[in-house]
Amino acid sequence: MQPLLNLLGPAPKPQRLSLAEWDLVVRQARRAHVLARIAALVQAHGAWAAVPPAPRQHLASALALATRQQRELRFEVAQIARALQPAGVPVVLLKGGAYALAGLQASLGRMVSDVDILVPHECLADVETALMMAGWVHTNHDAYDQHYYRTWMHELPPMRHLQRGTVLDVHHALVPATARARPSTQRLLQAAQALPGQPGVCVLAPADMVLHSAAHLFHESDFAHGFRGVVDLDALLREFAMVPGFWPELLERAAALGLQWPLHHALRYAQAIMQTPVPPSTVAALAPSVCQRDWQHRLRDALYLRTLRPDHASTADAWTPLARGLLYLNGHRLRMPLHLLLPHLARKALGGLLPKEKP
């Protein structure tokens, strides 16, 4: 996987890869949804001509798709902002949409297949009504799934626009309501920053953006996009670290929002996988947030360093399925207490045998 990591680093050298290595890199990167990012980084470093013709076609195709997605994203965000005007709620973008509209380095070649926004919980009903009036509808009509999202999750069931088919996720928190961590949405929204020239559209403050990326990644149970999450974190940290005072502010916000342990994991595995530069004092300050026994570190590393690779056969070993399975269960454990989790998993396991409930 080293050729893939080299191309995603701060100084990609595509001329050093053989055709056989390119063949593997293209397959790994496509699986991890970072093929377009490699194309964008290679272009940004003026090394496009060094890519052989065959892999260049794959890179160009992926980059064209990412460019089109980001162009459509800008139109879609404008439509969402217009739809929410009657509710008096600004659009606070999350994840890929935020990176793209803020023009961050993390947006280079970033695929954005849907839009994620954060709104105050007390405005959720008004936001949902305003969006439905503008053509967004819920596509999941199963009564249990509706109950699951509305009672326990941090977002509404996904919405899709009737005409354009675009998917919108409306969040009212960073993590599920039943999770152990409870970062304050109000604090996040108060610190959100307006985007110049885009009325009614904001993004999270830089430190909060990193914390959301960390919390999202390490509360996951499905790590299909786990490697891309580490790539996002690496890009955010490298860019924001250029601003004086970023690291102390990141620690302060992690403490205020109760997200020290996801940040610890984010920094540890961004360093381990992407060689992200992180001050040793920052890592040391987060150490008390996690179990410190040597075997606990080794166990976490054994699980995450296998699971946070591209989901491709060439990056797996005999222990990878077990690691993914254990982190799948751990993700659910972090999101729900046991008395809710066990019936939920049982229902999901038997889902194909049970009749769908009508809402």
* pLDDT digit string, tens, across residues 236-248: 999 999 999 999 9
Lowest model confidence (mean pLDDT) among 208-212, 320-324, 338-342: 338-342
Contact 17, 42 (CB under 8 A): no
Burial (Cβ within 10 Å: 0-12, 13-18, ≥19) of residue 203: buried
pLDDT value, residue 317: 94
- CA distances in angstroms from 125 to 80, 89, 182, 219, listed in the order given: 15, 12, 21, 26
3-state secondary structure 211-244: HHHHHHHHCCCCCCCHHHHHHHHHHHHHHHCCCC
Q: Starting at the edge strand that comes first in sequence, how are the strands of the sheet with 201-203 ordered? A: 136-138, 159-161, 167-171, 115-118, 91-93, 201-203, 193-194
pLDDT at 159 over 70: yes
Give the number of C-alpha atoms closer than 13 A to the C-alpha of residue 124, restricted to the C-beta side.
15
**Residues in CB range of 57: below 8 A, 6 or more apart:** none
pLDDT at 259 over 90: yes
pLDDT at 356 over 80: no
pLDDT value, residue 70: 96
pLDDT at 143 over 90: no
The strand pairing partners of 193, in sequence order, are 203
Average pLDDT of the chain, as a whole number: 91
Strand bridging mode 201-203 / 91-93: parallel
What predicted TM-score, i.e. pTM, was given to this entire model?
0.91
pLDDT value, residue 355: 56
* pLDDT digit string, tens, across residues 57-108: 999 999 999 999 999 999 999 999 999 998 899 999 999 999 999 999 999 9
Contact 161, 135 (CB under 8 A): yes
